[in-house]
Structure 1
Amino acid sequence: MKKLVLSAAILLGSLSTFASTSPIKDVTVKTITVAEEFVEVKIEEVPSAVTDALKTAYPDAIVNKAYVNENKEYKLDITLGDKQGAVFADENGNWIQKQ
């Protein structure tokens, strides 16, 4: 009887472990896909709506590189003082939250 209860506990424990780790793999794949869809473009090719939004939000920011994806969303690698980062905007200059 003890072996039956122990076997059932081990089986149920292994199933719950498998179920809890499965979604993590899906999230990782999606993150990689998002990161690879941007293609570098010349800074001059960024729409004026995007550059104007950047000047309004971060007047002292310097654009180092610019990227665009199929949805006409722009990623701008910027330097602000001694900090570097990236901001995302659509072609109309509206800010986008990306991971």
Structure 2
Amino acid sequence: MKKLILSAAILLGGLSMNAATPVVTNQIISSVNIQDEYTEITADAVPAAVKSTIEKSFVGSKLEKAWKNAKDEYKLEISKEGKKYTFFTDASGNIIKK
């Protein structure tokens, strides 16, 4: 009888060791957006080359807003069929990926 009680205690003790609480770690991910300072400009201040790019690349779209930074790069917001899109160009009208 003692052996039966002893084996049950060892068995239950062994099972409780495996039921330990898992360690939960929280990871904090932070992202930093580095963006050049853009100042809003009127649609009339946008160069003709940039307007030409909009007309050729985004047929049927309308220029809503425009911004310019110190490097003569333009941030443009256009709308087409109720959806708004943002893209970047240089002063020559070349599209820049950012």
**Shorter-normalised TM range:** 0.5 to 0.7
Query: Following superposition, which runs of at least 4 residues in structure 1 exceed 2 angstroms of deviation?
Result: none
- Aligned CA-pair RMSD: 2.0
In 2, the alpha carbon distance for the partners of 1:61 and 1:38 equals: 22
Residue 61 of structure 1: aligned partner:
61
Partner of 2:82: 82
Number of aligned residue pairs: 74
State how far apart, in whole Å, the 2-side matches of 1:82 and 1:45 are: 24
The structure whose Rg is larger is 2
Percent of pairs with identical residues = 32
Mapped to 1, the partners of 2:83 and 2:57 lie a distance apart of: 15
Q: Which has a greater percent of helix?
A: 1
For the residues of structure 2 that align with 1:88 and 1:39, how far apart are their CA atoms?
A: 14
Matches within 5 A, 1:1-99: 25=30, 28-29=31-32, 31=33, 33-34=34-35, 37-98=37-98
Provide the C-alpha distance between the structure 1 equivalents of 2:64 and 2:82, rounded to a whole number of angstroms.
13
Any unmatched runs of 5+ in structure 2? 1-26
Residue 67 of structure 2: SS of its match in structure 1? strand
Aligned residue number for residue 23 of structure 2: none
Structure 2 counterpart SS, 1:54 = helix
Match of residue 4 from structure 1: none
